[in-house]
Amino acid sequence: MINIIPSRAPLGIGKKCYIEAPTRKKMAAYKDFLHRNESYHRPWVYHSFKQEYYEHYLKRIKNGMLQGCFVIDSQTDNLVGIININNILLGPMRMASLGYYGDEAYAGKGYMAEGMTLAIKYAFESLGLHRLEANIQPGNTPSIRLVQKLGFRKEGFSPKYLQIGGKWCDHERWAILDEEFGKE
């Protein structure tokens, strides 16, 4: 487990967006983002809108269980995506899994591709990870296209991998290694 202290500075800066760590001050923007995009994210993700969930999310970040990355539009400072570097394992594995979801109004405009690029770079360079996985439901074509664009390769299929909305869902396992990132 690593000790991640939320930074006031961006974790990464791109042309369209930057990524920053979630903070208590961002809770209203987070809840607004979830409400705005609730139907867009289903059936892939089911969110909790409770304040306690967000507080627990921040605590898990502080305890090094994950690193949250809010994708912020550089022009408007609007929250347009969320990327989580989950289940961080150090030692000989140095790996984590990615979870992410974007704003429907920004879909297809490159914000999540740039935000993911920044988050992956942060995971490899700042957290010292060697491997990142993205487990994606087979029907989630936009998500599959995103990881393909970023250089991930499909490694396998995991039946009933994750419980979402009370149902066990199959997932494809996609991965990228630090030495593969940015080579395409």
Nearest to 10 by CA among 58, 97, 62, 77: 77
For residues 181 and 124, the answer to whether their CB atoms sit within 8 Å is yes
Nearest to 62 by CA among 98, 92, 90, 24: 24
**Mean pLDDT calculated for residue range 33-61:** 85
Question: What percent of the chain has pLDDT above 70?
Answer: 93
Give the integer Cα–Cα distance in Å for 80 and 94. 28
**Mean pLDDT calculated for residue range 22-48:** 87
Q: What pLDDT is recorded for position 156?
A: 97
In the predicted structure, residue 170 carries a pLDDT above the cut 60 = yes
Q: What pLDDT is recorded for position 3?
A: 44
Written as six digits, the tokens of 76 are: 């408007």
In the predicted structure, residue 89 carries a pLDDT above the cut 50 = yes
Rg (C-alpha) for the chain, rounded Å, is 15
What tens digit of pLDDT does each residue of 134-144 get? 999 999 999 99
**The whole model's pTM is what?**
0.91
Average pLDDT, the chain: 91
How far from chain centre, in Å, is Cα 99?
4
Query: In terms of CATH, what superfamily is 12-130?
Result: Gcn5-related N-acetyltransferase (GNAT) (3.40.630.30)
For residues 73 and 111, the answer to whether their CB atoms sit within 8 Å is yes
Written as six digits, the tokens of 6 are: 């939320």
Q: What is the dihedral of CA 113, 85, 38, 155, to 10 degrees?
A: 70
**Mean pLDDT calculated for residue range 55-70:** 92
**Mean pLDDT calculated for residue range 58-86:** 95
- pLDDT-derived band at 184, boundaries 50, 70, 90: low
Angstrom CA distances, 44 to 65, 66, 85, stand at 22, 20, 17
In the predicted structure, residue 4 carries a pLDDT above the cut 60 = no
**Mean pLDDT calculated for residue range 159-172:** 91
Nearest to 120 by CA among 11, 1, 9: 11
